[in-house]
Structure 1
């Protein structure tokens, strides 16, 4: 690996470490400070909303007025401050879900543009991005995995510590960004085209029935997909499985494996069957959770997590490849943006809100009192952690901290077990199955590059 590739790999590692430090485990802690299912739904919805807005910033400002590495650095520094301010709201006397979610939304507006900026910076410095970029991008997945391992090792998966970790890493990433290779504004001096930024030219692809079926199916399947990111870690927790933040990283480990073997499968299955395999994996995953979660059947839950590689690579990556094949060269970037808008934007946003409402509906009233008891224990854990970090802890405080963490875990498992997990997971399983059947019956792949814009019949 060259020196530049090593620097870019560190960039990707930090970029996704920040996200992985809180995305998977946030719901469990937020539930302890008074968040309802609806509140948590909005916590996970603001990210997709920010993701839909960020192309405006990248297209209008970042591409025209400042070097990429400087924008990247400034956004992460600002993001670190905003995330810290969010932790202050979380640890106040009466945490307000609305105020916290608003701060997380403002933070997300600084974070989500950095994903595209990091990708752009990396590709700009590469000779052959098609070969070099995957080797660098995999360090992003590794960063996500290491974040989960860090939470498990420190015990921060149940406390505000996860957000402190994200804030500190964001500041580190911000400072590191200024040392990255210089990338001048790629569109400096060019006219700003709102049509191009909105990706309106890519709408011509909707004339093709198969691409339209693919896009609508991708949008719909992302609604049940949101349940996984929002509820899976708590499903693992209530099953009594040790170190849930670490066990959730098994999904990213499988993602790396299936990314490596994906070319072999793609050559033999083709677009349609790859997409169907990804959808079928989601149906199977949610069915395993619906059956395994209420009974605490560990192997079913583990398998559901491990299926993440098939779910993500076979559907999302194949979808990106299909979009690239279907779109003419001049609108491929806009076509990819259209796909992201409908899936990780609209689909995930609606899915997060739906998942939150279903969680609230199937949460019994007695859970609230149990949450309040766990919240008191969580406050005790955070006080002991703060004393340990500042050197104020007594010699016996390590044992006391371990005991408090164990009590918090027991209380969390106890109230999470009361949720009706069979129905919570059964609903997205049925939704995914219906979408899969409709897609199988209506999608046709003609396999011709750039054909979607020219063939109106599908």
Structure 2
């Protein structure tokens, strides 16, 4: 890649994930404290991510891949998203907020695939080049959290009580407009499918890869992937409200430790794969979920604050060792014919079905342990996903038979 194209793609990735991290992390805190939303209502808002993941293949497969250049539809989606984000900034009740967040996530989730498509289209050796571009996405997510906590102090007790968290939506609206306009000068990425070419809906959703479920090991992994997304939803939905409620300073900024660890453990993943193999690596990822939630359950913002920070830092192991390892395993099992379909199926199962269930369960559990207005028994809330993740770990350990999986870095 030329330096110009590398800069364009890195800028694109930075803003793509700055946009996501700039409002999604603090969403639960904002809804609970500023819109007086219940746990169930907060779960509804977070589940829009899952509906976006389910609908995204249709937008990409039926529209983007057939009629428009990827960079143009990326621009249109982000400009439209900027408008919806501004409407979320002005919402004064959950009822007026929800339609906008639902519409926004239907538009945003397809952009995750579009930015990858644009990047891959410019690379001669994606295995070596993609990570050097994608890392700017993680940097963008970290930057958003640091700005919220340490520059504007929007998530401080004073900022939250003054309703300043809603400014995250305004910040993201501006960022979305910038990326939307910038997208039109990104390298051309023409449609992959001819207009008169038939599109198989089952292939768009990855359903062609259902044949892989005949393999017992893959079936066990597939079911474990759905189940482990239930405790994962607890983290996305409850971590920031939890840290804010118990009085941790700069909770959003401290949560960026998780993204920093994600970069570190992504670099360490090839070593673990080679040293311990796929089964033990993915087991370690699931065990990390249990340990993280136990640390959250028994830690506090005082003398035990280190337990919370360790729990946040475990994000790299939780995410990379399970989800990235799972993507590698899926790729190795699918073969050339079903590679894309298999990855689509796993995405649909995890971010779609698994997390949709998880957000609903997390909302119910959070409401169950509501002590008083905006006060929860967090020890009980976090124990449940800890136990659930451990049960999934035991089932996977017993049912998944060891097999050799090659990691190509």
Q: TM-score, normalised by structure 1?
A: 0.84
For the 8 Å contact 1:37–1:356, the answer to whether it is kept is yes
In the alignment, does 2:294 pair up with 1:337?
Answer: no
Following superposition of structure 1 onto structure 2, how do residues 218-297 of structure 1 map, counting pairs within 5 Å? 218-293=225-300, 297=304
For the 8 Å contact 2:329–2:405, the answer to whether it is kept is no
1:348 and 1:194, CA in 2 relative to 1: closer, same or farther beyond 3 A?
A: same
Q: Deviations over 1:234-288 (max 9, x none)?
A: 2222343211111000000000011111111111111101110000000000011
For the 8 Å contact 1:17–1:140, the answer to whether it is kept is yes
Provide the C-alpha distance between the structure 1 equivalents of 2:91 and 2:167, rounded to a whole number of angstroms. 14
For the 8 Å contact 1:76–1:173, the answer to whether it is kept is yes
| Shift in Å, 1:131 | 0.7
| Shift in Å, 1:295 | 7.2
For the 8 Å contact 1:239–1:296, the answer to whether it is kept is no
Q: Partner of 1:171 in structure 2? A: 177
| Shift in Å, 1:103 | 1.4
In the alignment, does 2:320 pair up with 1:299?
Answer: no
For the 8 Å contact 2:277–2:405, the answer to whether it is kept is no
Provide the C-alpha distance between the structure 2 equivalents of 1:246 and 1:57, rounded to a whole number of angstroms. 34
In the alignment, does 2:218 pair up with 1:205?
Answer: no
One of 153, 175, 181 as aligned partner of 2:187: 181
For the 8 Å contact 2:287–2:393, the answer to whether it is kept is yes
| Shift in Å, 1:34 | 1.4
In the alignment, does 2:86 pair up with 1:84?
Answer: yes
In the alignment, does 2:388 pair up with 1:431?
Answer: yes
Q: Partner of 1:136 in structure 2? A: 133
| Shift in Å, 1:344 | 1.2
One of 105, 109, 120 as aligned partner of 1:108: 105
Q: Partner of 1:422 in structure 2? A: 379
Q: Partner of 2:120 in structure 1? A: 123
Provide the C-alpha distance between the structure 2 equivalents of 1:196 and 1:280, rounded to a whole number of angstroms. 33
Moved more, 24-33 or 108-117: 24-33
For the residue of structure 2 that corresponds to 1:160, the secondary structure is helix
For the aligned residue pairs, the C-alpha RMSD in angstroms reads 1.4
Moved more, 201-210 or 81-90: 81-90
Provide the C-alpha distance between the structure 1 equivalents of 2:300 and 2:238, rounded to a whole number of angstroms. 11
For the 8 Å contact 1:62–1:71, the answer to whether it is kept is yes
For the 8 Å contact 2:233–2:359, the answer to whether it is kept is yes
Provide the C-alpha distance between the structure 1 equivalents of 2:378 and 2:303, rounded to a whole number of angstroms. 10
Provide the C-alpha distance between the structure 2 equivalents of 1:294 and 1:67, rounded to a whole number of angstroms. 49
Provide the C-alpha distance between the structure 2 equivalents of 1:198 and 1:359, rounded to a whole number of angstroms. 32
1:286 and 1:344, CA in 2 relative to 1: closer, same or farther beyond 3 A?
A: same
Q: Partner of 2:26 in structure 1? A: 25
1:64 and 1:296, CA in 2 relative to 1: closer, same or farther beyond 3 A?
A: farther
| Shift in Å, 1:294 | 8.6
Tell which structure's C-alpha radius of gyration is larger.
1
Q: Partner of 1:7 in structure 2? A: 8
Moved more, 159-168 or 273-282: 159-168
| Shift in Å, 1:353 | 1.1
For the 8 Å contact 2:48–2:106, the answer to whether it is kept is no
Provide the C-alpha distance between the structure 2 equivalents of 1:425 and 1:294, rounded to a whole number of angstroms. 15
For the residue of structure 2 that corresponds to 1:242, the secondary structure is coil
Q: Partner of 2:67 in structure 1? A: 65
One of 29, 38, 57 as aligned partner of 1:55: 57
For the residue of structure 1 that corresponds to 2:190, the secondary structure is coil
List gaps (5 residues or longer) in structure 1.
Answer: 368-414, 450-458
One of 283, 290, 313 as aligned partner of 2:320: 313
| Shift in Å, 1:448 | 6.2
Matched residues, number: 394
Following superposition of structure 1 onto structure 2, how do residues 311-390 of structure 1 map, counting pairs within 5 Å? 311-364=318-371, 366-367=372-373
Provide the C-alpha distance between the structure 2 equivalents of 1:184 and 1:218, rounded to a whole number of angstroms. 33
